[in-house]
Amino acid sequence: MKTLVFGEKTLFTEFRMEAGNILPKHSHAHEQTGYLIEGRIRLTIGDHVFEAEKGDSWCIPGTVEHGAEILECSVAVEVFSPVREDYLPGKIA
């Protein structure tokens, strides 16, 4: 994960994900909007399962449980609102 830029109300990130990895289901207060630059992932957003391919996008409302299975090596960019303090430079684990 790389934070690309952030402002007062939004934060823009790049995620590079390896095939076979799983992002466990979780939720947070932030609205999360994404775009898949390359690869293929299976997203679960609430009760909806969606296979995203290059060029697809999604929006995850705040507090909705979501997770992903990385089907092919993938690159996604996502915007979080409000700013995720834990993703600010110098605070990323």
DSSP the chain: -EEEEE-SS-EEEEEEE-TT-EEEEE--SSEEEEEEEEEEEEEEETTEEEEEETT-EEEE-TT--EEEEEEEEEEEEEEEES--GGGSTTT--
CATH, range 2-87: 2.60.120.10
pLDDT of 92 > 70? The answer is: no
- Domains of the chain, by residue range, sit at 2-87
Is 0.95 topped by the overall pTM?
no
Q: Are strands 11-17 and 66-81 parallel, antiparallel or unpaired?
A: antiparallel
pLDDT tens for each residue of 75-84: 999 999 999 9
pLDDT tens for each residue of 1-29: 999 999 999 999 999 999 999 999 999 99
